[in-house]
């Protein structure tokens, strides 16, 4: 029987395990590793704070996650399969490591994050495409 996500240590385990999978994934690994060239030593502690804040309300995260993704999307447009792969890996990781109320909440929050980001990026991309169409 697995335990629930109960504290910061559990959040760190989730984030570390999840992003190991992300880096190795054929669909989104290259986006993180080769396109975005994520500095994992800097980024992982931010992700700990982000997820700790989402799940436990710690308030340690002080960033704005959307703008860097929007900027990356300008040079490497995000595709639906990126969001699908990210979410599938997140679910897989949570289910391997945890079960319980917080684990379910983490998955629900991940769905919301992916949905909002995909929606906003689609709006940006459609706007860019419409601008190009109107210029012709």
Q: 17 with 112: CB under 8 angstroms?
A: no
Q: Which overall architecture, per CATH, does domain 8-135 show?
A: Orthogonal Bundle (1.10)
The candidate with the shortest Cα–Cα distance to 61, out of 119, 117, 26, 15, is: 15
If we measure between CA atoms, which residue out of 26, 30, 112 comes closest to residue 76?
A: 30
Per-residue confidence (pLDDT) for residue 127, from 0 to 100: 79
What length does the chain have?
A: 136
Q: What is the pLDDT of residue 135?
A: 41
Dist CA 114 CA 96 (whole Å): 20
Domain residue spans in the chain? 8-135
What integer pLDDT is reported at residue 129 of this predicted model? 59
Query: How many Å apart are CA 24 and CA 44, to the nearest integer?
Result: 16
Given a cut of 50, the residues of the chain with pLDDT beneath it are 131-136
Dihedral angle of Cα 87, 89, 90, 91, to the nearest 10 degrees: 90
- Describe the crossing of helices 101-135 and 66-75 by its angle, rounded to 10 degrees: 40
Q: How far is residue 71's CA from residue 73's CA, in Å, rounded to a whole number? A: 5
């Amino acid at each position: 029987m697995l335990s629930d996500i109960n504290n910061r240590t559990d959040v760190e385990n989730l984030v570390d395990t999840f992003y190991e999978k992300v880096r190795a994934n054929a669909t989104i690994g290259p986006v993180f590793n080769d396109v975005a060239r994520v500095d994992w030593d800097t980024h992982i502690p931010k992700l700990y704070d982000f997820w700790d804040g989402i799940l436990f309300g710690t308030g340690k995260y002080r960033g704005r996650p959307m703008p860097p993704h929007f900027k990356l999307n300008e040079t490497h447009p995000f595709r639906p399969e990126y969001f699908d792969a990210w979410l599938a890996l997140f679910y897989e990781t949570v289910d391997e490591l945890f079960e319980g109320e917080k684990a379910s909440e983490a998955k629900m929050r991940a769905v919301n994050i992916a949905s909002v980001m995909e929606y906003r990026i689609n709006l940006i991309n459609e706007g860019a495409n419409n601008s190009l169409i109107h210029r012709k």
